[in-house]
Amino acid sequence: MTATTDGSTGSVGPRALSTTKHPGEGQGPDAADPDGPEALAARVTARAVEHLLARQDEAGWWKGDLETNVTMDAEDLLLREFLGIRDEATTEAAARFVRAQQREDGTWATFHGGPGDLSTTIEAYVALRLAGDAPGEPHMERASRWVRERGGVAASRVFTRIWLALFGWWRWEDLPELPPELIYLPKWFPLNIYDFGCWARQTIVPLTVVSAKRPVRAAPFALDELHRDPARPGPARPMAPVTSWDGVFQRLDRALHAYRKVGSRRLRRAALRDASRWIIERQENDGCWGGIQPPAVYSLIALRLLGYDLDHPVMRAGLESLDRFAVWKDDGSRMIEACQSPVWDTCLATIALADAGLPRDHPALVKAADWMLGEEIVRAGDWAVRRPQLPPGGWAFEFHNDNYPDIDDTAEVALALRRVRHHDPARLDGAVERAVRWTFGMQSRDGSWAAFDVDNTSPFPNRLPFCDFGEVIDPPSADVTAHVVEMLAAEGRQHDPRCRKAIAWLLAEQEADGSWFGRWGTNYLYGTGSVVPALAAAGLPASHPAIRRAVSWLESVQNEDGGWGEDQRSYREADWAGRGASTASQTAWALLALLAAGERESPAVGRAVGWLARTQCEDGSWDEPHFTGTGFPWDFSINYHLYRMVFPVTALGRYLHGDGLVPRES
């Protein structure tokens, strides 16, 4: 059984979803225009530009909601329960949101229209129990029955069982061991903390403290209904053969459990002190950690266990930062964002508006450039562990995240800044030049780029029993590499040997069907929509075989309604590649690739423009309940609420004014 687009269950495959009518269809202007398709596109674009301009903050930035799944809301309530600061108003607002996301079969999914997820359903259920929902209520009974049928708590992921262990709903002894002494492993040694991606190391270091302390707060209620056998809710995972990597790491975990009993107490105390120092040194100016919610949650728990009072400035700032992740809705519900994306949203909005024909010195663009220039990161962060001699330069994703600038944002911000006629060109030039230098310095050995780190490709972290959820390393990806190549081409560096090496890497990464895998967006549509414009910007002709194969693939997966869509299930099932209900952002990605490939007059492009016209809302926006962003492929999906605006505006602008490869003078 899989899920239909409305969240109900049914036997629906990728091709059935691919022709589903878009929720916004029929709300916008007519698909035909007596003056031709360009007039239609111009009218649609003008309305969208007006809407996007109205959403700019007075300070110059844009930020759409970043929607993930209800584990963020559940874990926020569990943190407050653990710290003793949960209040009824916050609890009820969170519960209202969680209840609204429950599916008819009693489960919660991790993305719109996706299948029920065991761990997400368990955490959502516990959150509603905290809010006072009784186990016997119909919606709760449906959820608990579904959980038991799929193995109960014992079959859930490690992170879910950690949360339950905090309240005695699971035994710490039945969890993988994560010793704080890990912080002492040198950077050349396997499984040192810098072998993990930045988001993972920020989470793992505080969790080593939690694992060492094994705290248990008094549970406010029992959770027997979530266990198959409440009397013996032990591990459900059998030991793998010793000849397999899983078997090796399972036995390593057994050894670490034994070490806990015999290891040096003095060393353990020193490791806890140094872990505490590591955590505090990485707290951002706004009180958060890395600009993302999960490390902040675990860091607060760790520091509390190490004796930090709730009124300590570090704790107080951390708790205040978490409140800024809350989005209060008109119905009184409260959604927690896992992260906030103002830099990313602002550079994409700037590119969109410029490519749509806004004058390069338009006040909105200049204001956006001013804000982005103020967000440049000019000090070293964790990336300098691998690149100690590299001067800083670049941008992060969030409002405050100086420790972890990323290559993707840096490339797109540089592209955005070059589209603006700024009143201080020397300042802008300097920022972009520093970004180019830093980006070149962050290139991996094979010529590609990852998001945050260099050559972060160790095969070992993903093998740990502790790491059974999401990506914990940061390997290079086609989408990030493509954005860098596009930026380098805009800077006239397309013939630089380092850029040519990246182009060769991209060509080698093309899938047999002509698409490219998308690491940070869903999925092959995102990868292909990123790579083809980059290759065209770098000088590959539209006749190049790689570009022709990409065009053929895009045409083959276009939906009957004229749009494109791709479901998150494509990360697990090949049949879903390029298949799903049409969305505005994914249609725009396909359009960007086709336009860059010289296909402006093709029937596929005309049908796509018509689909965007038909589905545009009265206010100039598009509806998009589907999740087209990716945190961890399959495990953690994202609905960037501004994607539905910035990408269609960019694509329509390039349809009207050109390919966007060279900034337009006005």
Neighbours of 321 (CB within 10 A): 22
Looking at the structure, tell me whether residues 260 and 345 fall in a common domain. Answer: no
Task: Look at residue 335 and tell me whether its pLDDT is greater than 70.
Answer: yes
CATH number for 532: 1.50.10.20
Residue 281 maps to a domain: yes
Residue 180 maps to a domain: yes
Confidence (pLDDT) at 613: 96
Neighbours of 366 (CB within 10 A): 17
Residue 527 maps to a domain: yes
Longest dimension (CA), the chain: 82
Residue 279 maps to a domain: yes
Confidence (pLDDT) at 247: 80
Task: Look at residue 207 and tell me whether its pLDDT is greater than 60.
Answer: yes
User: Which two structure tokens, joined as six digits, stand for 372?
Assistant: 């982005």
Confidence (pLDDT) at 560: 97
Looking at the structure, tell me whether residues 407 and 264 fall in a common domain. Answer: no
Last residue of a domain, one of 479, 509, 539: 509
Mean pLDDT over residues 370-384, rounded?
95
User: Which two structure tokens, joined as six digits, stand for 287?
Assistant: 């009180």
pTM, whole model, 2 decimals?
A: 0.92
Q: How far is CA 309 from CA 26, 140, 183, 209, in A?
A: 56, 36, 24, 16
Measured between its terminal Cα atoms, the distance across the chain in Å is: 54
Mean pLDDT over residues 349-356, rounded?
98
Confidence (pLDDT) at 25: 44
Residue 132 maps to a domain: yes
Q: Is residue 622 a contact partner of residue 615, using CB atoms and an 8 Å limit?
A: yes
Name, in order, each residue with C-beta under 8 angstroms of 596's C-beta and a sequence gap of 6 or more.
Answer: 532, 533, 535, 536, 537, 659, 661
Determine which one of 402, 408, 561, 567 is catalytic.
Answer: 408
pLDDT band at 11 (very low <50, low <70, confident <90, very high): very low
Task: Look at residue 7 and tell me whether its pLDDT is greater than 50.
Answer: no
Looking at the structure, tell me whether residues 492 and 619 fall in a common domain. Answer: no
Residue 270 maps to a domain: yes
Looking at the structure, tell me whether residues 93 and 140 fall in a common domain. Answer: yes
Looking at the structure, tell me whether residues 164 and 96 fall in a common domain. Answer: yes
Residue 499 maps to a domain: yes
Q: Which of 16, 157, 236 is nearest to 634 (CA)?
A: 157
Looking at the structure, tell me whether residues 168 and 75 fall in a common domain. Answer: yes
Looking at the structure, tell me whether residues 632 and 543 fall in a common domain. Answer: yes
Residue 666 maps to a domain: no
Task: Look at residue 21 and tell me whether its pLDDT is greater than 70.
Answer: no
Mean pLDDT over residues 187-205, rounded?
93
Looking at the structure, tell me whether residues 147 and 281 fall in a common domain. Answer: yes
Note the pLDDT tens digit of each residue in 478-527. Answer: 999 999 999 999 999 999 999 999 999 999 999 999 999 999 999 999 99
Note the pLDDT tens digit of each residue in 57-90. Answer: 999 999 999 999 999 999 999 999 999 999 999 9
Mean pLDDT over residues 311-333, rounded?
94
Confidence (pLDDT) at 93: 97
Looking at the structure, tell me whether residues 285 and 322 fall in a common domain. Answer: yes
Alpha-carbon distance of 432 to 376, in angstroms, equals 10
Pick left, alpha or beta for residue 394 (phi over 0 → left; psi -120 to 50 → alpha; otherwise beta).
left
Last residue of a domain, one of 336, 352, 383: 336
Looking at the structure, tell me whether residues 73 and 41 fall in a common domain. Answer: no
Alpha-carbon distance of 395 to 408, in angstroms, equals 9
Looking at the structure, tell me whether residues 580 and 498 fall in a common domain. Answer: no
Looking at the structure, tell me whether residues 393 and 502 fall in a common domain. Answer: yes
DSSP of 344-361, one letter per residue?
Answer: HHHHHHHHHHHHTT--TT
Note the pLDDT tens digit of each residue in 588-619. Answer: 999 999 999 999 999 999 999 999 999 999 99
Higher confidence at residue 2 or residue 127?
127
Note the pLDDT tens digit of each residue in 22-41. Answer: 334 444 444 456 667 899 99
Task: Count up the domains in the chain and report the number.
Answer: 3
Last residue of a domain, one of 291, 310, 336: 336
User: Which two structure tokens, joined as six digits, stand for 487?
Assistant: 């930026």
408 catalytically annotated = yes
**Owning domain of residue 56:** 1-60+514-661
Confidence (pLDDT) at 17: 43
